[in-house]
Chain A
Amino acid sequence: MLYLYDSIMIVPRLQEEFWKVMGTDYLPEAEQNGLRLVGMFMIGIHYNENLALWELDDWATLDRIQQLHDKHPWMKAWQREAVDYVTDSTGKVLQPAPFSPTLAKLKKGDYKSTIYLHTVARVSPGQEDEYMKAVGKELVPMAKTWGMKLVGCYKAVAGTASSGEVINIWTAGNVHGEWVKIREASLNDPAYKKWEASAGKWRAKVVYRFLYGLVPYSPLRTPFLQEAAIEEVRTVAMPEVEWK
């Protein structure tokens, strides 16, 4: 299993509209071609940045997606449309840790959250697997007691990235008051202090962001939003025609 991590810079003011057109004009075709949306998030708090996280089966799917992006007329039409909303985007290919939940598991379980915590650790080169193993063994059970569930643990393996990037995403509460409690619990946990001291041998620091799950069709989203039916957008009424 692989993940495509797309960091998208949005034209300020047009974020909600972009979410809507992405849901109607990009998502259905992307999913038909092997990209499964895990989450579409607003970065907290960076006003014009979004993150789209997609699951795909294997490297051959990525070749198919690349072909689609480069050559398919539908994708070219989407790219022209997206110019109104997107000023830049950068992609990474991520490989999950063995214990990282798949999209199927995320959909079955209780992973809905308004706030997700996104962490990037720059691990010493070559020690990514060892670090991820320790996250699974030590940090995941510890974080569960504070009220956080692991949504994904990945290392960057292609696309645009630096050495030793390990990305974790966690549920982090439905309102900011819940995050306050999670944070307090972690800071008062002696096991976490021990973890932080021992994790220093793999990485110097962790960069934090909030992700807000506010997109109705995103599998990872706030529980306060029901799944929206994807609207079919047609500006002109078109008769159904069977082409021979």
Chain B
Amino acid sequence: MLYLYETTYPFAGMMDEYVNVMGTDLIPGLARHMMVLGVFRIAFRLRESFFLSELPEGVDSLEGLSNFVIHERDGLTWHREGFRYRDEWFDSLLEGLPFSPIAADIKKRQKRGDFTGNTLYYRLIYNVLPGKTDEFLKDFEKELLPMEEKRGIKLAGCYRWFGACGESGEIISLWAVKDWAHWGKIQETQLKDTKYRRWMEKVSGLCAEWSYKFVIPAPYSLLH
């Protein structure tokens, strides 16, 4: 499955309004062409947000997106309206990894209580060393994923670069966290967990570095 991942920089002081108008003026039209998984603000950041959409028809969904902004009335309107709120954005096309849940899985799991009622998501980007990606992904799926889901954070998605903006060796993961207090507890248990410490040692040999952002979902997001 392919995904569109767009980072946007709304003007200072416009974040709330921008996220609201995305919900009313953009998402309904976009939803004709793609499944919008989430609209997020970056925690404690004045001007950065991103949205993530599943492209059900693969790259053909992008033709739908082009039609939306060039020919469809609400898309044309949004295209002009958006300039009131932001001056910069960039897009990546991502490929979902085989163990990454798709929108249909997320909806099913929401009935069981996952991916709902979260005030935070944890976006962790690994920069895997050249030639180590297969080994990293195998270990991620077999070791990290079961360990962390058991601990209480749920993998909402895991992707690698497919097209447009991106970097070699970049693996983007998105995890659902209940709130900051929950994250504090998760960290405490990670520090005491010998299996987790082994994973950290292993991953240090497979990755050049990693970086993270904590992101806050818009209430109307599928991931919320």
Closest to B211 in A: A162
Number of A-B contacts (CB under 8 A): 93
For this complex, into which size category does the number of interface residues on chain B fall? 20 to 34
In the complex, are the beta carbons of B200 and A59 less than 8 A apart? no
Which residues of chain A come closer than 8 Å to B34, judged between CB atoms? Answer: none
In the complex, are the beta carbons of B204 and A125 less than 8 A apart? yes
In the complex, are the beta carbons of B44 and A91 less than 8 A apart? yes
Contacts A59-B183, A59-B184, A125-B200 given: A86-B46 contact, CB under 8 Å? yes
Complex Cα gap A76–B20 (Å): 15
Q: Which of B45, B181, B203, B214 contacts A60 (CB 8 A)?
A: B181
In the complex, are the beta carbons of A63 and B44 less than 8 A apart? no
Interface centre among A6, A159, A164 (most CB of B within 10 A): A159
Scan A188-207; emit 1 where CB is below 8 A from any B CB, else 0.
00000000000000000000
Q: Does A20 interact with chain B (Cβ within 8 Å)?
A: no
Closest to B15 in A: A79
Chain A residues within 8 Å of B, Cβ to Cβ: 4, 6, 58-60, 62-63, 66, 69-70, 76, 79-80, 82-83, 86-92, 122, 124-127, 157-164
Complex Cα gap A60–B119 (Å): 13
Closest to B201 in A: A126
Q: Which of B13, B43, B211 contacts A83 (CB 8 A)?
A: B13
- Per DSSP, chain A at the interface is mixed
In the complex, are the beta carbons of A89 and B13 less than 8 A apart? no
Q: Which of A58, A76, A87, A161 contacts B12 (CB 8 A)?
A: A87
In the complex, are the beta carbons of B211 and A90 less than 8 A apart? no
Complex Cα gap A160–B185 (Å): 19
In the complex, are the beta carbons of A66 and B187 less than 8 A apart? no
In the complex, are the beta carbons of A80 and B180 less than 8 A apart? no
Which residues of chain B come closer than 8 Å to A88, judged between CB atoms? Answer: 12, 45-47
Q: Does B213 interact with chain A (Cβ within 8 Å)?
A: yes
In the complex, are the beta carbons of A89 and B44 less than 8 A apart? yes
**Least Cβ–Cβ distance between A17 and chain B, in angstroms:** 16
